[in-house]
Amino acid sequence: MEKANNNRKGGGSRVSRYFYYLVVLYMLANVVALVPRILIQDRLNGTVMALVIAIVLTMFYFYIFTNSMLKFPGKGQPEIVLTYTPKWFAFTYLFFVAILYFCSAWFILVSFIDITNIFINPEMPSFLIGAVFLALVSFGALMKTEKTLYALEIVLLISLPLIIAIFFKAYFNQLLSWDAIKVVFIHSFEKPSISTIGAASYSMIGFYFISIYNRVLKPKVNKLKLIPFLLLGILATVNIFTSFLIPIGFNGVDGSENYIYPWFSTADSIRMEFGFIERVLFIFLLLYIGISISTATITCHVGVETLKSILPKKKWKGIAMVPSMILLVFSVFTISSPYLFSQVHIFDFSKFYFSLLLLVGAISCSVLLYAVRRSKSK
């Protein structure tokens, strides 16, 4: 803890990298399950235009939300909202935002429970897979905020180079059909749907994590620097187009929609001739299970911290009970979900949820801009 405090005091350049880790982690976690499936479903109905709109809109939200949070060094969104908005609004807004964070974690976990059950161990019951995942996620979500960042750094340093290598391998693979990709671009100017724009923007919203992690990052600047911002925009563009186009290039314009998880079927088509494991699918699965657990952990941690700010601080034998009870309810619901909802239901829920987040982003940015204005007038 002392070391972490020293790092924060020692300079913004060291701790600021964790914010970018959060953004990159969320980009990676949400481009292989539900998001590409939604994009591919509308591949001939203006998905390319949807990607462009989503990138511009989300980067606008990114700039406004992050710069507004940086005006309050060392403070999280709950403290800011509770200080500068009416109590009734603050409670309603923070409760709603916290539920959305848990929804994000839920979509990640139910998807990867199903993926694990399909591709790794079909004989293992879904509830057992879910119990293992939720035990890891709950343990991590109850950690101190700084420690979750250190764990995140380790996961990214191990996973990111291998994922980049797999993406490069996919782009230069002889099985990739550029003609199929060209067909998609021919339909670029079709009118896109709101759900497609929402799905495209979803993988780029990791910046919202600063709502809690601003407490420990404590940057010395009060404005996001232009070059890192532009680099993240370029990375987001490459990431989302890769998520959308590679499965189409491998499986064809018509064939790509036949897969529930197109990226895992695509990964199974890639071989590492000189690798220690020839089938990329096994490496890909392990990498993304690790990334999904890390992302769900971070998301649940932010959700718990947000709810803690508006709920009574009950303790039992010196132990805070509220965070544990929140995660217990979330865990039971998530483990039960494969038996309550079909993949069709989850897919439909996700389309509505991703569309809703477009509106929520505008509301969140407006709330923080209002708080910044109020803080200057005091």
- Average pLDDT value for residue range 29-53: 91
Question: Containing domain of residue 44, as a range?
Answer: 2-377
CA dihedral 115, 294, 125, 202 (to 10 degrees): -40
Q: What are the pLDDT digits (tens) for 315-347? A: 666 667 888 999 999 999 999 999 999 989 999
pLDDT at 178 over 80: yes
If one counts the domains in the chain, the total is 1
Q: Which domain CATH number covers 177?
A: 1.20.1740.10
127: tokens are: 């509830």
Give the integer Cα–Cα distance in Å for 245 and 195: 18
Q: What is the mean pLDDT of the chain?
A: 89
Name residue, tokens 């019951």: 125
* Sequence-separated (6 or more) residues with CB below 8 Å from residue 250: 170, 173, 175, 176, 177, 256, 265, 266, 269
**pTM (2 d.p.):** 0.91
* Sequence-separated (6 or more) residues with CB below 8 Å from residue 251: 258, 259, 262, 265, 266
Give the integer Cα–Cα distance in Å for 375 and 237: 35
The predicted structure's pLDDT at residue 238:
94
Max Cα separation, the chain? 65
Q: What are the pLDDT digits (tens) for 90-104? A: 999 999 999 999 999
194: tokens are: 């709101």
Name residue, tokens 């340093």: 157
Cα→Cα distances 125→120, 121, 122, 130, Å:
12, 9, 8, 9
Query: What percentage of the chain reaches a pLDDT higher than 90?
Result: 63
Angle between helices 226-251 and 34-41 (to 10 degrees): 70
Q: Are 309 and 82 in contact (CB under 8 A)?
A: yes
Q: What are the pLDDT digits (tens) for 233-276? A: 999 999 999 999 999 999 999 888 888 888 888 888 887 765 56
Residue type, 263: W
pLDDT at 7 over 50: no
The predicted structure's pLDDT at residue 221:
61
Give the integer Cα–Cα distance in Å for 171 and 81: 45
Residue type, 79: E
Residue type, 64: I
